[in-house]
Amino acid sequence: MAADATTASSAAPAAARLSFVDRFLAVWILLAMAAGLGLGRLVPGLGDALAKVTVTGVSLPIALGLLVMMYPVLAKVRYDRLDTVTRDRRLLVSSLVLNWVLGPAVMFALAWLLLPDLPEYRTGLIIVGLARCIAMVIIWNDLARGHREAAAVLVALNSVFQVIAFSALGWFYLTVLPGRLGLEQTGLDISVWEIARSVLIFLGIPLVAGFLTRRLGERAKGRAWYETKFIPRIGPFALYGLLFTIVVLFALQGDAITSQPMDVARIALPLLVYFAVMWAGSMALGKAMGLDYPRSTTLAFTAAGNNFELAIAVAIATFGASSGQALAGVVGPLIEVPVLIGLVHVALAARRHFPQPTAMTAEHAPAQEGSAHV
pLDDT truncated to tens, each residue of the chain (374 aa)?
444 444 444 434 444 445 566 667 768 878 888 898 888 878 877 777 877 777 766 778 888 888 888 888 788 888 887 887 888 999 999 999 999 999 999 999 999 999 999 999 999 999 999 988 877 788 889 889 999 889 988 988 887 888 788 888 888 998 889 989 988 888 666 666 776 777 778 778 888 999 999 999 999 999 999 989 998 899 888 888 888 888 887 787 777 677 778 888 999 999 999 999 999 999 999 999 999 999 999 999 999 988 876 787 777 667 766 678 888 887 887 788 889 988 999 999 999 999 877 654 544 455 443 344 44
Q: What is the pLDDT of residue 191?
A: 67
Euclidean distance between CA atoms 353 and 371, whole angstroms: 22
Q: What is the pLDDT of residue 122?
A: 94
Name the amino acid, one letter, at 157: L
Domains and CATH numbers, the chain: 19-353 (1.20.1530.20)
Residue 28 buriedness (CB in 10 A; 0-12 / 13-18 / 19+): middle
Q: Which of 88, 64, 114 is nearest to 242 (CA)?
A: 64
Q: Which of 160, 249, 164, 242 is nearest to 200 (CA)?
A: 160
- pTM, two decimals, is 0.76
C-alpha dihedral over 238, 244, 245, 249, to 10 degrees? 170
Q: What is the pLDDT of residue 368?
A: 43
Contact of 336 with 308, CB cutoff 8 Å: yes
